[in-house]
Chains A and B, each alone.
Chain A
Amino acid sequence: MSPNDEDPGIPPPQLDALPREIEPPADLERRVVAALRRGGHLAPRARAPRAWMATAAAAAIFAAGVLVGRTAPDPAPEPPAGLAQFLLLLYEPTPLAVADDRDLVAEYGAWARGLARQGRLASAEKLAEASVRLPERAATAAEVEPTGFFVVRAASLDEALEIARGCPHLAHGGEIRVRPVDPT
């Protein structure tokens, strides 16, 4: 298309100064997504936690239970002295690239049990449903909810990052955010 290919006999105004793109209001994206959901034009959000996360978390919790002596078929070692705790928050910005969830269950379980045997696993849980925000507000479309977490023990942030790098979650395309737990 050429703007001036059909000139009606009067020069076009100098509109070059005007931007062709303008940032829309922040709530437009949320409104459009909500309208599309009402109209059934978007696939429903996955409400149930992934099977692998539930099972892997259960395996990890079992390992943690061994650690704290709730069950004692194989007494866990005392945590090494002088370690700090670090939160590993797990996200799935896109569906994980796996063919079979059962493989993940085995991988996550083995990883968590390995940490527990070294006295490095404090806790692990799956997270169900989306967050409820207070004060109440709708989630923006850009927000991604964590799907689970591990609390590990490490001597430093670098060591915690090294532990996180070994988590199979990363190998399958997931994201992990590592935060030190404030001991105070």
Chain B
Amino acid sequence: MRERPPTREEDREAVARFLAARAEEAFLALYRAHAGYLYALALRLAGGSADEATELAQEAWVRAVERLAAFEGRSALRTWLAGILIRCAHERRRAARREAATDPQDLEERVGEGSPAAPPAASRLELERALAALAPELREVIVLHDLYGFTHAEIGEQLGVAAGTSKSRLFFARRALAARLGAPSPGPHALPAEGDSR
């Protein structure tokens, strides 16, 4: 995996190079620059199922290439790709009307593959398991907001919900996660009102 994400300029050049001839080598340069980021997000949104994450990432990459000519560079390419992945995940879940399967085996195999500076796998595994155990609509919000830094406005736009809905889901997600990790959680008085997008 790369030591740092590509700059916007590098992304723009790589996109232009691919669109000029649609060569496989040019696509692979794009793919390899962002594959680790996108797969990690897919794995979290899929609740830890490696099979589902692989299918999801594949679908997102194909859809991204279909639409790449429309990429204007207003956001980082990584953010644009993440948006496509999030919509793919959301559509798949709505279509299936079921929760993504969680396979603890996959999680144990995958969480040890992060950066060398990361803490021991046991604590990461505990966090990954706790995230995977959340309801999908809570998990996607806490993953996007607390792990990947999306704002409620951005999450709302990607998921087709109000920013306030994203905010209240984040509250429930944090409370559920804290309970699973054994930390004290606040009472219901702290719950923001639905639709409150402060």
Chains A and B are bound partners: yes
Contact A17–B124 (Cβ < 8 Å): yes
Contact B27–A36 (Cβ < 8 Å): yes
Partner among B27, B43, B178 whose Cβ is within 8 Å of the Cβ of A22: B43
B89 → chain A closest CB, angstroms: 15
Contact B192–A5 (Cβ < 8 Å): no
| Residues of chain B in range 156-198 having any CB-CB distance to chain A below 8 Å | 163, 167-168, 170-171, 174-175, 177-178, 181, 185-186, 190-192, 198
Would you give the 0/1 interface string for A5-40, flagging 1 where the beta carbon is closer than 8 Å to chain B?
A: 110111111110111111111011101110110010
| Residues of chain B in range 18-43 having any CB-CB distance to chain A below 8 Å | 21-25, 27-28, 31-32, 35-40, 43
- In the complex, chain B residues whose CB is within 8 Å of the CB of A24: 35-36, 38-39, 54, 57
B85 at the interface (CB under 8 A from A): no
Partner among B38, B50, B198 whose Cβ is within 8 Å of the Cβ of A6: B198
Contact A11–B22 (Cβ < 8 Å): no
Contact B28–A141 (Cβ < 8 Å): yes
- In the complex, chain A residues whose CB is within 8 Å of the CB of B27: 33, 36, 42
Interface residues on B, range: 35 or more
Docked CA distance A22–B171 (Å)? 27
Contact A25–B50 (Cβ < 8 Å): yes
Contact A11 to B62, CB < 8 A, known contacts A19-B114, A21-B40, A22-B36: no
Contact B62–A21 (Cβ < 8 Å): no
A3 → chain B closest CB, angstroms: 5
A94 at the interface (CB under 8 A from B): yes
Contact A13–B40 (Cβ < 8 Å): no
A45 at the interface (CB under 8 A from B): yes
- In the complex, chain B residues whose CB is within 8 Å of the CB of A2: 149, 151
Contact B146–A3 (Cβ < 8 Å): yes
- In the complex, chain B residues whose CB is within 8 Å of the CB of A97: none
Contact A13–B178 (Cβ < 8 Å): yes
Contact B118–A41 (Cβ < 8 Å): no
Contact B185–A10 (Cβ < 8 Å): yes
A72 at the interface (CB under 8 A from B): no
CB closest chain-A residue, reference B62: A35
Listed from nearest, the 8 A-B pairs whose CB atoms lie closest are: A19-B114, A21-B36, A24-B39, A22-B40, A8-B171, A9-B190, A43-B22, A1-B149
Footprint of A on B, CB under 8 Å? 1, 21-25, 27-28, 31-32, 35-40, 43, 50, 54, 57-58, 61-62, 65-66, 110-111, 113-115, 118-119, 123-124, 127-128, 142, 145-152, 154, 163, 167-168, 170-171, 174-175, 177-178, 181, 185-186, 190-192, 198
A-B contact sample (12 more), CB < 8 A, given A17-B127, A19-B115, A24-B39: A1-B150, A10-B174, A14-B127, A17-B123, A20-B37, A20-B40, A21-B39, A23-B113, A28-B57, A29-B32, A31-B54, A35-B58
Report 12 cross-chain contacts, Cβ distance below 8 Å, ordered by A residue.
A3-B146, A3-B149, A10-B175, A13-B178, A18-B111, A19-B40, A19-B114, A21-B39, A21-B115, A22-B43, A28-B57, A36-B65
